[in-house]
Chain A
């Protein structure tokens, strides 16, 4: 455990800790580009220079191990000048096209220039010309002129995705990132290269030119794409969600997430959502607000008796499961509660990094809730019941992310054989509109609009908070359960899932406005 002094502060670190790590651990600021905590050390940006007492040359903090009694500083004039010049070297051939660059606002060059640079550039020569708009693969576009050759993306494909698509070609100031012939950047984690790119060289085809980042607000939540449960950050404004990025979570995803998970924001935007409740009777479809359609459905649910069945998918929070199973079992007195397991065969698949075969974020949570309430059913019992007519009314908590639901159409057809079908779901789907018979469609809140707990594949309980509201009138499963049973739900005092007051239409709207205050206050952008 060597002790050292950094910027006058004496600290003790573990053996083998580099100066960079030591400074990070103690919250000290240091300029750097190529260093990334979960990639190998490249030592090429030369920005993280520090002065070590007794050494005439400045050293890089990322590759220098702390030794006993080391006296380090990165605030001396010598270091400041060195950093300033290295920053200038980064910028002399950089196009400085911030006004049209997608990275502007979250760019490492901008940030570090403001913090460590602020000089008058002396470069008067012509800048180096390189390739623009290089199509690296299906997801990523490269602008070589903006690239500062930190090699993070190259190291990512080498060390993390292990696909080795990227390399640095040519030498000197003609160096460019590129792919090998016939081998585009096409792997399931390719967009991580965009995240770790400190400048606007790598941009996501999905996000580029769609929003300036300073018009986006961010909110942390969990990914609901599979049972891994990566921590993510969503970016949104009043027009909806625009992108998803991973958040460091050493227990689950480290610094990464898969490309599939980045598409999930699309399911929560209004275009993909069921906005109005619908009721179908002999006279055809009737539009209603969600609360009203649920209330209407409650009539049939209450009178269904032993003909009532509940079908749950693994895409809701543990608190919601607890609430709905509780009310169905105790209030509506039915134990016909079924788990719609959409990927039984592939559930255990794992690609070795993050992606798992179970495309539900909370299968474990659902199983736990069913066990807790002593519910033990087989899917076959449901099929049987529908066939012999002992099940007349089916309440379905459908999936919000339909990607993993290859059996969706088939299941809808099966369940629609019931006399009364109450289908609760956040995303819209054509097949639901073409249903015949007595149908109630109840719009639900998506995972970014509520708080709760997901239990991932390993049994890790992760709580997440509400990000914002997209469809303010939609219900959570807990609210729906309450309405369907016509009862208050017993909730533990520490879980503040049910917001009783929110059930009133006005108050939901109020909440919507309050949460999005920043948009209203800012006015037209």
Chain B
């Protein structure tokens, strides 16, 4: 059930301001952390088993460990470019508890020896950006940011930087390019950002939720954090539940919670008269799960991976029996072909091709061999590019087509949706 480790005080409006945040125990953890050794903090985070909450699920402590051990200047970037369709958890965290993120960033900055941090916030997030900027101002005024924080001798500066609304800028190296003032395009790896990132200096990029989760880890210790969740996926995570459920929204639950509990208990189940047909467990890039697979799935990295999907950003998109899978894939493919940065050929051309094939089928021009072609094209886009956008576009195709092939074949043969019984033009007036 819901476990409010991060979101404990989110209901309170005062929690947004510095005073309210302090009243509810805010910045106490920072005081504690500044008295610790940086390495101790890194060890604690490593011991907690915290995994990146942005989508890849990579161990945060290990990532920090990749930084060179010399005194070279380094940057801490917060990835608040929450672009994955279905995901809206970071927005809530920034709107409701901006100081929690700032506190997490100061602690993390202290741990990795960085004196400059940026919050790269999604271009469309006007309001969260205003809230964050206000909070940063308050923190500076209170001596929590800037020189000699709380008399510890540690300096940390923080800026909020707004993106321009490109999905790809949520990819860490594209985010760095964008922050450098360049076109938001992923960079070749190696070198990895931890070695050569922002302005060619070692850089750590962490998700909003990851950085905020550092606060409870340092507050209660790694052992307390590990009590939640599973052995390999410890802690709690925010899930953005959307789709045709009774109570969509953001819920913080321990990792390992059964997916059906999230949908049917916390989310209140499907809307009256509707049945669960499929579910995308981790944002639109994750392969779709069928209703049977949902029964077996637990919301932790390993369980979802064993079903061939990804926990990703934790955006659970519930699809009911009134939805046409071909139509849905059309929406997704339009998104990816629109958002491909256009650098690598397989992705640039492949996403457009997939989009055109799906829309050919949708508009009644499809051929039966197009269904196999979708799979072939997607298969050959996978793992062939600089970043993961190509995979993100290919994986939904592969899962949609293989798991709901009957709907695709029906659509090609009849020129209309099997589920809705109508053509594309009728579906979208």
Chain A positions near chain B (C-beta within 8 angstroms): 41-47, 49, 57-58, 63, 81-82, 85-86, 89-90, 92-93, 122-126, 128, 148-149, 167-168, 170-175
Contact = CB atoms under 8 A, between A and B. Distances in A.
Contact of B345 (A45, A63, A170): A45
A161 B246 CA distance: 61
A86 B384 contact: yes
Contacts of B339: 171-172
A173 B342 contact: yes
Question: When A and B form their complex, which 6 residue pairs have the shortest distance between CB atoms, in order from nearest?
Answer: A175-B342, A173-B352, A125-B356, A85-B380, A172-B340, A89-B349
B342 A57 contact: no
A173 B383 contact: no
B385 A46 contact: yes
Contact of A43 (B367, B376, B386): B386
A86 B188 contact: no
A197 to B, nearest CB: 16
Contacts of B341: 171-172
A63 B343 CA distance: 15
B367 A149 contact: no
Given A126-B356, A172-B352, A46 B346 contact: yes
B277 interface: no
Contacts of A148: 345
Nearest to B168: A171
Contacts of B417: none
Given A43-B188, A125-B356, A85 B342 contact: no
A41 B190 CA distance: 11
B188 A41 contact: yes
Interface in B127-171: 166, 168
A85 B353 contact: no
Given A92-B353, A123-B353, A126-B356, A172 B342 contact: yes
B interface secondary structure, majority: helix
A93 B349 contact: yes
Interface string B367-380: 10110010010001
A46 B344 contact: yes
B348 interface: yes
A167 B339 CA distance: 18
B239 to A, nearest CB: 30
B428 to A, nearest CB: 19
B308 to A, nearest CB: 16
A319 B307 CA distance: 79
Contacts of A174: 342
A149 B338 CA distance: 17
A82 B342 contact: no
Nearest to A123: B353
Contact of B357 (A41, A82, A125): A125
Contacts of A172: 337-342, 348, 351-352
B342 A128 contact: no
A123 B342 CA distance: 19
A8 to B, nearest CB: 24
Contacts of B345: 44-47, 86, 89-90, 148-149
Contacts of B62: none
Nearest to B189: A63
26 contacts: A45-B344, A46-B345, A46-B384, A46-B385, A57-B383, A63-B190, A81-B380, A85-B380, A86-B346, A89-B348, A90-B345, A125-B356, A149-B342, A149-B345, A149-B348, A167-B183, A168-B342, A170-B342, A171-B340, A171-B341, A171-B342, A172-B338, A172-B340, A172-B341, A172-B352, A175-B342
Contacts of A45: 344-345
B346 A89 contact: yes
A44 B348 CA distance: 10
Interface residues of B, number: 34
From A42, A93, A167, A172, residue with most partner B Cβ within 10 Å: A172
Contacts of B59: none
Interface string B306-349: 00000000000000000000000000000001111111111011
From A45, A85, A90, residue with most partner B Cβ within 10 Å: A85
A173 B188 contact: no
A173 B348 contact: yes
Nearest to B167: A171
B350 interface: yes
B360 interface: yes
Interface string B350-365: 1111001100100000
Contacts of A43: 188, 344, 386
A334 B385 CA distance: 73
Interface in B360-409: 360, 367, 369-370, 373, 376, 380, 383-386
From A93, A123, A124, residue with most partner B Cβ within 10 Å: A124
Contacts of A57: 383
Contacts of B190: 63
Contacts of A128: 352
Contacts of B384: 46, 49, 58, 82, 86
A125 B355 CA distance: 10
Contacts of B188: 41-43, 63
B336 to A, nearest CB: 9
B60 to A, nearest CB: 24
A186 B323 CA distance: 55
Interface in B287-302: none
Nearest to B345: A89
A168 B349 contact: no
A170 B183 CA distance: 10
Contacts of B183: 167-168
B123 to A, nearest CB: 14
A214 B383 CA distance: 39
Given A41-B188, A89-B350, 15 more contacts: A46-B346, A85-B346, A89-B346, A90-B349, A124-B367, A148-B345, A171-B168, A171-B339, A171-B342, A172-B337, A172-B341, A172-B342, A172-B351, A173-B342, A173-B352
Contacts of A58: 383-384
A43 B345 CA distance: 10
Contacts of B343: 42, 44, 149
